[in-house]
Amino acid sequence: MKKNLLRLAFLIVLAMTSAVKAQDSGAYRRIYAISAPYLTITDDISFEALHCFWNGACDTLDGTDGIADILISEEEFPAVKEIFGEEPAKNHIQSLSKTNLYTDFNLANAWMIIPFEDIEPRRKIITIDGADVLYNKFDPDTWPLTAVIGEISEDTDITALPVSNRDASKLTNLVLTGVTAMVRGTASYMDLDPLYPASLIREPLIDADILHINNEVPFYERCNIQEHYNGLVFCSKPSYMALLEDIGTDVLELDGDHFGDHGDEPVYQTLDIYDEAGIPYYGGGHNKQEAQQPLLMSHNGNRFAFLGCNGKELGYATASDERPGAVHCDMNLLKQQIRELRKQGIIPIVTFQHLEVFQVRAIDEVREDFEGVRDAGAVIISGSQSHIPMEFDVSSTNFIHYGLGNLFFDQAFFLPETAEAFIDRHVFYDGRYLNTELLTIRFTNNALSHYMDPADRAQLLNRIFKISEVEGLSE
């Protein structure tokens, strides 16, 4: 034991000495990323393949459908060259001035190696050997696209050098999900194991800095799931709350169609359960005034406001001045709130329970409301109502996703598309919207889903990408 303590003390002193040497040298680390057009199917490449492409030994990057070259700005080129330790093959790697690099043509068509601070929403970030520079568990000490800037000696501990352009204390991963309704077939599995539905998709959910769940159904102590099969009147057993707690739910959306299915008593019971668990909610509440209030949250210096409402006919939203439930959309109020939040430097996240269609393209009534709040200043606009994955629009400042599909609901065999869904991981850095990563899941039964294999994922992305828009870059 004593020897172990002495060794630990020695390692601490050695690390502190190396850090001092590194800081005294004035050197620092600079993190780079590979970006591609957002509507790119490829998600990941190996650093070995990238190096092979760099030196010209490989004509294409594995799995990238014949990418001809990679662009780098002239300003960053010397540092990137040092990463690979050799001159690039001229026919594969091009160096352009920063002005010429970020043209609409290049943004829409070319792959690039860019510094972390140049990441933007309209460009997809490609992972390297599974490592993701956008992920909140990213390890800069093992990231291959790292340049050392400044003079260092042979004995310098590079991992002790500070990272200049990626500060983990300014990063937020915010995960939005689609429909949760722990009823019918899903509930029958949960009676055996309440945690079963998330058992294969749990890690990215629990890793989120802020995890949003849209639970459409009230908890009710007298809930009998057998009654659900006789009509669309739903409730969940209070024991199912264990699932939402296990995945680390941070915020709950309550503007769902079925929140008032059993009257006021279960709504009050549900709100008490959420309050006891310490999980805040929006879009529904004890009355209309509470339900309409923006829910403010902060993480790593990024300030958010969650707003939500039900855009269907009034019968689905029971919240009034005197009654609890989901709140109906007051679009004028919602837009006014968004504008006021933006003036305060707060990032508005708007989620809708809106008209349901079993098609990829959004209908005009839905599009009007989603685009309306975007134009008012909402940064992320997400459709919580859809039971299938739908199209999205991405710009340099915001992201609209018209529908994500089911997270926990028993429609695996209703349609081929209801067996698929998105989980959206939105990334924010230093007060600005940085990027969105699309996670994809497939259901294998009425409760259990898993992350898609590459073939299924490519098929889904191809279908959605065909009609989705990237501002200024789509054909």
384-397 pLDDT, tens digit per residue, is 999 999 999 999 99
Confidence grade of residue 57 (pLDDT, cut at 50, 70, 90): confident
3-state class of 31 per DSSP? strand
Assigned token pair, 227? 């009654």
Token reading at 330: 């007051």
Strands 392-394 and 399-401: antiparallel
Question: Are 326 and 449 in a shared domain?
Answer: yes
Which is more confidently placed, 156 or 71?
A: 71
Token pair 């994922």 is at which residue?
457
Q: How confident is the model at residue 20 (pLDDT cuts 50, 70, 90)?
A: very low
Q: Is the pTM of this model over 0.85?
A: yes
Mapped onto helix, strand or coil, the DSSP state of residue 467 is coil
Q: How many CB atoms lie within 10 A of CB 277?
A: 13
Q: Which residue has better confidence, 472 or 36?
A: 36
68 and 217 inside one domain: no
Within a domain: 93: yes
Listed residues 109, 139, 165: the one ending a domain: 165
- Using pLDDT thresholds of 50, 70 and 90, give the confidence band for residue 5: very low
The verdict on 240 and 147 lying in the same domain is no
Same domain as 184, residue 148: no
Query: Does residue 298 sit in the same domain as residue 326?
Result: yes
pLDDT at residue 459 is higher than 60? yes
Region 4-28: what's the mean pLDDT? Answer: 43
pLDDT band at 1 (very low <50, low <70, confident <90, very high): very low
Per residue in 396-429, pLDDT tens?
A: 999 999 999 999 999 999 999 999 999 999 999 9
Q: State the chain's maximal CA–CA distance in angstroms.
A: 75
Distances in whole angstroms, Cα of residue 7 to Cα of each of 1, 331, 350: 10, 64, 53
% of the chain with per-residue pLDDT over 90: 83
Tell me 163's DSSP state: B
- Residue 462: give the domain boundaries: 170-470
Closest by alpha carbon to 427, among 54, 173, 100?
Answer: 173
> Any idea which of 24-33, 35-44, 286-295 has the lowest mean pLDDT?
24-33
Name the band, by pLDDT with cuts 50, 70 and 90, for residue 66: low
Q: Does pLDDT of 81 surpass 70?
A: yes
Task: Of 460, 456, 461, 443, give the one whose Cα is nearest residue 200.
Answer: 443
pLDDT of residue 313: 87
Tell me if 430 is assigned to some domain: yes
In sign, the C-alpha dihedral spanning 116, 167, 298, 255 is positive
Give the CATH number for residue 151. 3.40.190.10
CATH classification at residue 324: 3.60.21.10
Other CB atoms within 10 Å distance of the CB of residue 475: 6
Residue 185 lies in a domain: yes
Distance separating alpha carbons of residues 407 and 42, to the nearest angstrom? 24
pLDDT of residue 228: 63
Strand duo 347-353 + 380-383: pairing: parallel
Q: Decide which of 10 and 450 is more confident.
A: 450
In a domain, 358, yes or no: yes
Average pLDDT on 159-175 reads 96
Alpha helices in 102-239 (DSSP H): 104-109, 184-190, 202-207
DSSP 96: E
Residue of 343, 356, 416 whose CA lies nearest to 383: 356
Outline where DSSP puts E strands in 187-334: 210-215, 251-253, 281-282, 284-285, 295-299, 302-310, 325-326
* pLDDT higher than threshold 50 for residue 8: no
Q: Is the pLDDT of residue 273 over 60?
A: yes
Q: What's the one-letter identity of residue 180?
A: T
Select from 126, 141, 165 the last residue of a domain.
165
Whether 117 and 212 map to the same domain: the answer is: no
Helix (H), strand (E) at residue 176: strand 171-176
Indicate whether 452 pLDDT > 50. Answer: yes
Number of domains in the chain: 2
Give the model's pLDDT for residue 152.
86
**What 3-state class would DSSP assign to 162?**
coil
Cβ contact 66:50 at 8 Å: no
Looking at the fold, whether 178 and 113 belong to one and the same domain comes out as no
For CA atoms 107, 422, 432, 306, the dihedral sign is positive
| Position with higher pLDDT, 139 vs 314 | 139
User: Mean of the per-residue pLDDT values for the chain?
Assistant: 91
In this structure, are 180 and 94 located in the same domain? Answer: no
Cα distances from 333 to residues 6, 182, 310, 344, in angstroms, run: 64, 31, 14, 17
Question: What letters, b where the CB count within 10 A reaches 16 and e where it falls short, cover 285-315?
Answer: bbebeebbbbbebebbebbbbbbbbbbbeee
The DSSP bridge partners found for residue 425 are: 175, 437
Pair 239, 103 in one domain: no
| pLDDT for the residue 25 | 58
Q: What angle do CA 107, 63, 118 make, to 5 degrees?
A: 30
Higher pLDDT, 285 or 23: 285
Does residue 274 lie within any of the structural domains?
yes
- Categorize the per-residue pLDDT at 14 as very low, low, confident or very high, splitting at 50, 70 and 90: very low
C-alpha to C-alpha distance for 409 and 418, rounded to whole angstroms: 10
> Would 125 be classed as within a structural domain?
yes
Residue 63: pLDDT over 70:
no
Tokens of 308: 């939500």
The answer to whether residue 18 scores a pLDDT higher than 50 is no
Specify the pLDDT at position 17.
Answer: 32
Task: Kindly state whether residue 4 falls inside one of the protein's structural domains.
Answer: no
* Residue 1 maps to a domain: no
Verify that 319 and 453 share a domain, yes or no: yes
What is the dihedral sign for C-alpha 380, 383, 389, 390?
Answer: negative
Q: Phi, psi (5° rounding) for residue 352?
A: -115, 140
Question: In the predicted model, what is the mean pLDDT of residues 253-259?
Answer: 96
> Does residue 193 sit in the same domain as residue 74?
no
Residue that finishes a domain, picked among 135, 165, 195: 165
Whether residue 229 has pLDDT greater than 70: no
Residue 147 — φ and ψ, nearest 5°?
Answer: -105, 140
Question: Is there a single domain that holds both residue 201 and residue 321?
Answer: yes
